[in-house]
Amino acid sequence: MKILVTGAGRGGTNLATELIKKMNIVNFTSNIEDRNFFTYNILMDNYGTKLATENKGYSIETIDRMMKNNTNLYIVSVVRHPIDNCLSKIVRGQPKSRGGDSIVEILAPDATITGSVEAINNMYNIHKFLSENYNNRLITFKMEDLIIDTEHVVNMIADKLNIKVSSDIYNFHKFNRNKYQKERYGDTLHVQVDLYKNLKLNFNGFFNGKSNYINVLSETLKEIIEYFNYTI
């Protein structure tokens, strides 16, 4: 078995990766993301990595090639409410001086409405392709469900992969090896559900007074919101 954990950046891929790591069913690459993923032809046995859909070289054509060449490659796709995902991209893509993660004083490519929507659209198109062509090897769940109903998501993944899991898997976040998430959340799962509904309190108030962002994103992302069974 081989596993690729994927989804849009800021959409729960790190959290999902920690869960799959804890299941100990594949050997994950030493780097969190294997940026060389699409340069390979046949992946080694028990290979596992994470790669956000924004990464260079990630397209329908390249993921199709990898799925064809690796018939036991499973895609674990985590999604987040598209509006929250975009807002997180925008605020986290700011320079540190403005509360973001960027160490340089420039915006990340997806730190604007246009850039974030483009990234979510790309993720959606890739997911739709995989669903239509490789549905038997595609495992999809919401980041919100992983946080709120961890046991259900874990059992669903175990059933899809035909594996047994121990009870400590349900508390996988307490063994989080991602230092950035560990610093941010400690041993708890931060409830990140419908953050866009309270801009005064969430995202450190970055979008306070910017409700027009929600209107634009709601309209622009309507199809994707419905596709992943979210509501506005």
pLDDT band at 175 (very low <50, low <70, confident <90, very high): low
**Residue 105 φ/ψ, nearest 5 degrees:** -85, 50
Residue 190: its pLDDT value, please?
Answer: 61
- Per DSSP, the three-state class of 113 is helix
Mean pLDDT, range 77-92, rounded to an integer: 96
Taking all residues of the chain, what is their mean pLDDT, rounded to a whole number? 91
Contacts of 162 (CB under 8 A, 6+ apart): none
Which domains can be identified in the chain, with CATH numbers? 2-227 (3.40.50.300)
Alpha-carbon gap, residue 4 to 49, rounded angstroms = 5
Sheet holding 27-33, edge to edge: 27-33, 47-52, 2-7, 73-79, 138-142
pLDDT digits (tens, 9 = 90+) for 113-132: 999 999 999 999 999 999 99
Amino acid at 26: V
CA distance 54 to 51: 8
Q: How many CB atoms lie within 10 A of CB 215?
A: 9
Listed in sequence order, the residues at least 6 apart from 142 whose beta carbon sits closer than 8 Å to its beta carbon are 12, 78, 79, 80, 81, 228
Residue 71 in this model has a pLDDT that exceeds 70 = yes
More reliable by pLDDT, 187 or 160: 160
Beta strands 138-142 and 27-33, pairing class? unpaired
Q: At a CB cut-off of 8 Å and minimum separation 6, what does 164 contact?
A: 158
DSSP of 154-210: HHHHHHHHT----GGGGGGGGG---HHHHHHHTTS----SSGGG-TTTSGGGTTTT-
Identify whether the C-beta of residue 112 lies closer than 8 Å to the C-beta of residue 133.
no
The region that residue 191 occupies, defined by phi over 0 for left and psi between -120 and 50 for alpha, beta otherwise, is beta
Element (H, E) at 91: helix 82-92
- How is residue 231 written in tokens? 């509501």
Give CA–CA dist 81/151, Å, rounded.
20
pLDDT attached to residue 168: 84
Give the pair of three-digit tokens for residue 100: 């973001």
Q: Does residue 183 carry a pLDDT above 70?
A: no
> What does pTM read for this prediction?
0.91
CA–CA distance from 50 to each of 21, 142, 198 (Å)? 10, 16, 31
Distance CA 128, CA 121 (A): 10
What's the pLDDT band for 185 if we cut at 50, 70, 90? very low
